[in-house]
């Protein structure tokens, strides 16, 4: 595969798709399918959810080049918010100049819970459960033998007790390989639950279910930027780096800032998750829960100014349970095409790329905040959206957006007035 080129963002949609095909990112069949705006068939839509009445659509943009551990990716992003794709692309571009993003650590185990209620001696039950680990391991392997052939399956157990509530939670850790693994996990948990009820007939199982609190699927990715590339207006790169570090500290100590800071991180990650047919609700829930691991809601990323290297260093630590098989990853046409574009070899790799996108997105948002502010870049796309809602068509959209930039007021009435003037 060849790089898409610096002019990629200036190409028409047709030429972008042609470039992707010519440079080896997609097949000609996929190029045509993307050109035709793939939607679900009625049969597929009906098989996914209930009471289908129509389909909605969101645009899919492309982050043309992000380097992670020496490999370059073109990343599809499905999102309705202006500036997200541009911000992630800009952040990736600057990090790419200093060797790209690096995966510092990565694991991917799913956790399931078997919860017992009305437990009079929770600590005693916890000990008994741990004593049966060998049998539990065997039952897990028997319940889902096919995952063993792919190198996955049972890894370990541990137990949480809630004595006052008379509840005990047995946590089972499973390597689900490239699947998100909810069905696999639930099958294994039911097998273990049945075994335990056979051992202790009076035991009261409350539930057996996958947990989305993915503390065993945490990815840590870092990247650095030369401060020479940070200068903005009257501010030199060192000052921008210092301000970015201060903004990072604020997001760590202040939950009010942390929530908005992390929303920006998830702008990038959510767009990748959605484009690849993965579960956005799971990704959001696990990420925000992990941000509370110290007992307070904190930032998912950290930015540090390194004067000795004249660089800014960013790090993200976040749970990633994305899949490349199962669920909507192959059923939804755009998800299948998105994965073809990405050329990832595993679900673990997809999670690492998504985390890097989140860090790139976060950099661009924070850099804008501590320098010229976010409105400058954001509003140009908002003007286009306003023009479209006001009724602008084709070439009118750009003309109306340009006129709104210099208008005394930029609202619906003004946009309609500009359209009327253009059509006279």
Residues recognised as catalytic: 81, 263, 279, 378
CA distance 108 to 174: 9
CA distance 274 to 277: 5
CA distance 420 to 424: 6
- Cα distances (Å, whole numbers) of residue 329 to 225, 335, 339: 34, 5, 8
Of 62, 60, 64, which is closest to residue 93 (Cα–Cα)?
64
* Buried/exposed 85-108: b ≥16 CB within 10 Å, e otherwise: bbbbbbbbbbbbebebbbbeebbb
Residue 335 near residue 329 (C-beta atoms within 8 A): yes
Query: What is the number of other CB atoms lying within 10 angstroms of the CB of residue 300?
Result: 25
Residue 372 near residue 232 (C-beta atoms within 8 A): yes
Largest CA distance in the chain: 84
- To which residue do tokens 């208008």 refer? 407
Of 358, 315, 267, 256, which is closest to residue 78 (Cα–Cα)?
267
Q: What is the dihedral of CA 203, 204, 209, 211, to 10 degrees?
A: -90
CA distance 26 to 9: 17
Paired strand residues for 317 = 220
């Amino acid at each position: 595969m060849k790089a898409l080129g610096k002019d990629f963002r200036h190409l028409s949609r047709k030429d972008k798709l042609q470039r992707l095909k010519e440079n080896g990112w997609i097949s000609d069949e996929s190029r045509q399918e993307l050109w035709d705006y793939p939607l679900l068939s009625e049969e597929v839509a009906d098989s996914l959810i209930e009471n289908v009445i129509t389909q909605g659509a969101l645009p899919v943009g492309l982050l043309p080049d992000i380097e992670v551990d020496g490999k370059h990716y073109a990343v599809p992003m499905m999102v309705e918010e202006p500036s997200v794709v541009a911000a992630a692309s800009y952040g990736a571009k600057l990090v790419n100049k200093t060797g790209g993003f690096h995966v510092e650590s990565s694991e991917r185990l799913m956790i399931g819970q078997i919860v017992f209620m009305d437990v009079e001696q929770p600590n005693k039950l916890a000990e008994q459960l741990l004593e049966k680990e060998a049998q539990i391991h065997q039952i897990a392997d028997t319940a889902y033998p096919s995952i063993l052939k792919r190198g996955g399956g049972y890894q370990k157990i541990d137990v949480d007790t809630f004595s006052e509530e008379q509840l005990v939670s047995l946590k089972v850790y499973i390597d689900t390989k490239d699947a998100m693994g909810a069905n696999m996990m639930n099958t294994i948990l039911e097998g273990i639950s049945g075994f335990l009820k056979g051992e202790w007939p009076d035991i009261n199982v409350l539930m057996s279910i996958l947990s989305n609190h993915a503390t065993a699927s945490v990815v840590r990715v870092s990247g650095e930027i030369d401060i020479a590339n940070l200068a903005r207006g009257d501010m030199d790169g060192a000052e921008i780096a210092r301000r970015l570090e201060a903004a990072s500290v604020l997001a760590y100590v202040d939950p009010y800032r942390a929530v908005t800071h992390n929303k920006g991180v998830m702008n990038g990650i959510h767009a990748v998750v959605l484009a690849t047919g993965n579960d956005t609700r799971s990704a959001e829930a696990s990420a925000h829960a992990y941000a509370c691991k110290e007992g307070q809601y904190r930032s998912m990323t950290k930015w540090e100014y390194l004067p000795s290297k004249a660089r800014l260093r960013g790090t993200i630590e976040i749970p990633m349970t994305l899949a490349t098989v199962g669920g909507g990853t192959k059923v939804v046409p755009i998800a299948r095409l998105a994965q073809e574009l990405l050329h990832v070899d595993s679900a673990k790799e997809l999670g690492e790329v998504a985390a890097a996108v989140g860090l790139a997105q976060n950099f661009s948002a924070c850099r804008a905040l501590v320098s010229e502010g976010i409105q400058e870049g954001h509003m140009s796309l908002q003007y286009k959206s306003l023009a479209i809602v006001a009724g602008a068509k084709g070439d009118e959209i750009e003309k109306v957006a340009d006129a709104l930039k210099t208008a005394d007021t930029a609202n619906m009435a003004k946009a309609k007035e500009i359209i009327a003037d253009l059509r006279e």
